[in-house]
Amino acid sequence: MAENAPEEPGSAAGRPQYHGAPANALPLTASEDRQWATLAHFGGILGCLPSLLIYLIFRDRGPFTAQESKEALNFTLPPTIAAVLANILVLLPVVGNVFAVIATAIWVALTCFSVSAGIRVNHGQPHRYKLNLRWIK
């Protein structure tokens, strides 16, 4: 900005007219907290990405969402990695069909467990997967 340029109306001296506000997000209400926790589990149908995004965005805004999205992320991460590897190995000429069946079985199992957990969490009950590595503390 030039030294002799006229100041924009509404701006303070030495400060640009438009400046960002601090990003202080409000805490989630009880129903929003339950809603995002439920979506973290239902997102398991698509793999670990939905629960990861919900965990990173909402973990500081709602305790139930933080707990349940972390649980969903820990549960969906290993099967997602296995499914991605199986889908890559589908390209192998002789055994590709076996890996296609494995990838499909992983997706079906992940879908069943995720929907079951999502329904329980939607009723306000915390859910713990029995077979969970819990890599993220």
Q: What is the pLDDT of residues 54-94, one digit of tens each?
A: 999 999 999 999 999 999 999 999 999 999 999 999 999 99
Residue 27 CA to residue 95 CA, distance in Å, equals: 50
The per-residue b/e assignment along 85-101, b for 16 or more CB within 10 angstroms, e otherwise, is ebbeebeeeeeeeebee
Residue 38 CA to residue 84 CA, distance in Å, equals: 24
Residue 64 CA to residue 11 CA, distance in Å, equals: 42
Considering the chain, what is the average pLDDT of its residues? 87
Angle between helices 63-89 and 96-122 (to 10 degrees): 170
Residue 30 CA to residue 2 CA, distance in Å, equals: 51
What are the two backbone dihedrals, phi and then psi, of residue 34, each rounded to the nearest 5 degrees?
-65, -40
Q: Do residues 132 and 75 touch, judged by C-beta distance below 8 A?
A: yes
Question: 12 by DSSP, 3-state: which?
Answer: coil
pTM (2 d.p.)? 0.78
- Token pair, residue 118, equals 């999502």
- Token pair, residue 33, equals 């907290």
Q: What is the pLDDT of residues 54-65, one digit of tens each?
A: 999 999 999 999
Over residues 21-46, mean pLDDT: 88
